[in-house]
Amino acid sequence: METLETDLLVLGAGVAGVYGALAAEARGARVLLLSKDPLPSGSTPWAQGGVAFPLDEADLEAHLQDTLRAGRGLVDPMVARSILEEAPRHLERLLALGLPFHPEPTREGGHSRPRVRHLGGDRSGLLLLKGLLARLRSPILEGYQAVSLLLSGKRVAGAWVLSLKGPLLVRAGAVLLATGGLGRLFPVTTNPKGATGDGMALAWRAGATLRDLEFVQFHPTALPDGALVSEACRGEGAILLNAQGERFMPRYDPQAELAPRDVVARAVHWEREKTGGVYLDLRPIPNLGERFPTVVAQARALGLDPLRAPLPVAPAAHYAMGGVRTDAFGHTGIPGLFAAGEVASTGFHGANRLASNSLLEGLVVGWRAALRALEDLAFPPSATPLPALAAPPEAVASLREEAGEALGVVRRKEALLAFLRRAEAVPLEEVEKASRDRLEAGSLLLLMRLLARAALAREESRGAHFREDFPLEDRPRHSLFQGWRLGFLPVGVE
């Protein structure tokens, strides 16, 4: 088996991984970045929204309050403050690199004022990632999927990797997980095909804790094929209409179309149930084709014309607030293992992510985690790969179809229990070798089980987690957080 050695191994080539790699190579470290899919990969290129940077010192407090409010009592205020305080330095760095942020910020849902900076209209994520990739000198291997992490005692010391060229062993002084979320657990999602929760499963197998898995944000306005219609459209004047042509959001929230995403997603869900459909009218936006070219192109690809008629929309799984528990610097608590971006749970998003805070977190924590990893480099003389997790792809594909109902925008105890029983009936195996399909199915099956358990355990409604049988938020249970946190430690194959 071919073996490589590097100081920092970065798994995942979205904004957190690439920006972290830039931070490490700027310090003279050897960096190797692996991407499961061809570049530009991950969810970052799909991000139509921009990056939420505080406008100034006064706005930092307002941005913090908006973040806390959206997170429904589960945001760690110290983590949030530290990320927001550091944010302006990263905007300055990105501008110095020549990235073309638009000078005028826009307002998105949950924000009390315009502070979201875009690049190229609704192509912000794609242009941000391409700009970072163009400035990266470290090698990137495309089509390489991490099968499992290498362990030396309790220390992570690299990864066992699968590619079309065969297996590869990468020995590393530290590993940064930046593998993205678990959106492909759901049948309708805005996430790319590679978003199968691999990094969460890898970290869990290595001894890290997964937490807050029940908090999955559903984007309220996705087209029938899952392509999202940017929330910035509503910030620029687009309105939601039910099948009867009525504007309904003011009945659900004083902020109407600019309410937090969980509120809008539930309103869209209920209006679709009551009236048979929901539509987004983009015609109030001036210069729509220039302002949102991606949205217009995606709609026309489906035979729809947003310049002539409202678009049919529905909620779609969009962003996982939960993931691998880390501190504010991306450390998982496992020596040698760090995580940043959607794979991680820093406490910044709480129960509901504030719009465009995710790219900001990916930048700040990706940079921090890489630098902290360089302080924790170690090269044990030997390391052993953990067995991989695999499952039958056909059975997991069937479960994905059911996950949209059981684990979706509105949850019910009976449906959760029935789904969990079916998920536990599908075998989840430890294997030495497996195909990409079986490995991804193994990650998804593990996370389906854990997410269903978390959703059952949280007998309240909070943020993105809504239980129809427990529609109210529970009373505070913790001195720091209003709500309790559920974390899963690995205890063998579930």
**Positions marked catalytic:** 261
CA nearest neighbour of 264 among 252, 277, 254, 274: 252
CB burial of residue 411 (10 Å; 0-12, 13-18, 19+): buried
Q: Is 452 helix (H, G, I), strand (E, B) or coil?
A: helix
CB burial of residue 251 (10 Å; 0-12, 13-18, 19+): exposed
- Count the Cβ atoms, other than its own, within 10 Å of residue 490: 16
Residue 177 bridge partners (DSSP)? 11, 339
How far lies 488's CA from each of 94, 201, 336, 401, in Å? 36, 11, 20, 25
Q: Are strands 239-242 and 323-325 parallel, antiparallel or unpaired?
A: unpaired
Beta strand extents in 81-163 (DSSP E only): 116-117, 140-142, 145-152, 155-163
Report which residue type is found at 335: P
Cis peptide before 310 (omega within 30 of 0): no
Q: Cα 140 vs. chain centroid, distance in angstroms? A: 22
Whole-angstrom distance, CA of residue 401 vs CA of residue 481: 34
**First-to-last C-alpha distance (Å) of the chain:** 30
CA nearest neighbour of 75 among 347, 331, 269: 347
Taking CA 250 as the corner, what is the angle to CA 245 and CA 261, rounded to the nearest 5 degrees?
A: 100
Contact indicator for 229, 269 with CB cutoff of 8 Å: no
Whole-angstrom distance, CA of residue 361 vs CA of residue 136: 20
Q: Which residues, other chains included, contact 229 with Cβ-Cβ below 8 Å and sequence gap of 6+?
A: 221, 222, 223, 238, 280, 282, 295, 299, 311, 313
User: b/e map of 23-36 (b: 16 or more CB within 10 Å)?
Assistant: bbbeeebbbbbbbb
- Count the Cβ atoms, other than its own, within 10 Å of residue 457: 11
